[in-house]
Amino acid sequence: MVQLSVVVPCFNEGEVIDAFHTALLAALGPTGESFEICYVDDGSEDGTLECLRGLARSTAQVRYTSFSRNFGKESAMLAGMRMARGAVVVLMDADLQHPPELLPRMMELHRHGYDQVIAQRDRTGEGALRSTLSRAYYRLVRHFMEVEISDGAGDFRLLSRRAVDSVLSLPENNRFSKGLFSWIGFDTVSFTYEGVERAAGCSKWGGRRLLDYGIDGLLSFNSRPLRLAIHTGLWLFLSALGYALWIVANTVLNGVQTPGYATLITAVVAIGGIQLATLGVIGEYVGRIYHETKRRPHYVVRESDEPDQSDQSEQSEQSDQSAVVRATGLSPASAGRARPEP
């Protein structure tokens, strides 16, 4: 069994992947550990796949899988963890923002008995706006979530074999791995390093995508927003009751006065707004249930340098078919029908 598997999700990283690979080999060579590098091409549209094919030809330790389109980093990390055969798995980005020089230190901490080692970046080299927003977000998340997630703990992390197996055993479709890693538990240690700019290329996380990711994170790990809706509703009901009593008392004491339309309208609008928001929250959860019940695979593999890298857990009965597709290049339906002419 290899000691260490390095899992690297890559999406349009053609500019930097060679530099990353060289740096990684330079960091791993001197340690004397046996290792493998599992690259996952997340449907890149630049030359990333070409580069990976080249690396797999030139370096024996390289294995790769390529998706049929962009499925997102979470799916890429999942595919990488499924590929990994090592006793220890390290997840890292391809853009050199996760310095390979830290790997020996992480392995050292693992040898001291930790199942998860997190290398946490400080926020130097990041835009002021983005770091302020991230900090605020993590404060909010910590308040809401049942699992502990810390600011700056990205996906640069080492996991022991049993930690990886636990993460892989979680069946959900919507994967917020920061939460999953924290949920599985085990002894965890983290250390901080100075953040660096990405070596080349650009970040794949625009504002909108980051916002969606944030919402995913908040909702995928708890049902507190639903609880919050109930609390708000109760408080509103109580205050409405108090207000009604006050009006009755006022009428008894002072007689009938002109009714306050402003108050009425305000109340109607406020309550309408809260109802809409609550419906939205419920809708979001219903959407998630819908999504989970479809049980789609997390990704579709276009190409890989090993025989079977399909999304096994959900596809058991489909895997015969996809093997047919891969072997013959036919659609499953026509593959069943196609027979050689007599």
**Residue ranges that bind Mg ion, judged by CB under 5 A:** 93, 95, 97, 198
CB of 198 to ligand UDP, least distance (A): 5
Minimum CB distance to Mg ion, residue 123 (Å): 13
The only residue of 49, 89, 90, 94 in contact with ligand UDP, by rule CB under 6 A? 94
Q: How far apart are CA 9 and CA 81, in angstroms?
A: 10
* 42 binds ligand UDP, rule: CB under 6 A: yes
CA distance 89 to 180: 15
Count of residues in contact with ligand UDP, rule CB under 6 A: 17
Check binding of 93 to ligand UDP (CB under 6 A): yes
Among 53, 123, 198, 302, contact with ligand UDP (rule: CB under 6 A) = 198
> Does 79 sit near ligand UDP (CB under 6 A)?
no
- By the rule CB under 6 A, 73 interacts with ligand UDP: yes
Task: Please report whether residue 95 would count as binding ligand UDP according to CB under 6 A.
Answer: yes
Question: Interface with ligand UDP by CB under 6 A: which range of 72-80, 116-124, 270-278, 312-320?
Answer: 72-80
| Contact (CB, 8 A) for 258 and 199 | no
Among Mg ion, ligand UDP, none, residue 41 binds (CB under 5-8 Å by kind)? none
Half-sphere exposure of 208 (CA within 13 A, CB side): 0
Distance of closest approach, residue 17 Cβ to ligand UDP, in angstroms: 9
> What is the CA angle 200-194-9, rounded to 5?
45
- Annotate 127-142 with b (16+ C-beta within 10 A) or e (fewer): eeeebeebeebbeebe
Report the distance separating Cα 174 and Cα 231, nearest Å: 27
Contact between 51 and ligand UDP by CB under 6 A: the answer reads no
CA torsion sign for 244, 248, 250, 254 is positive
The residue with tokens 């809708």 is: 283
Q: Which is nearer to ligand UDP, 67 or 114 (CB)?
A: 67
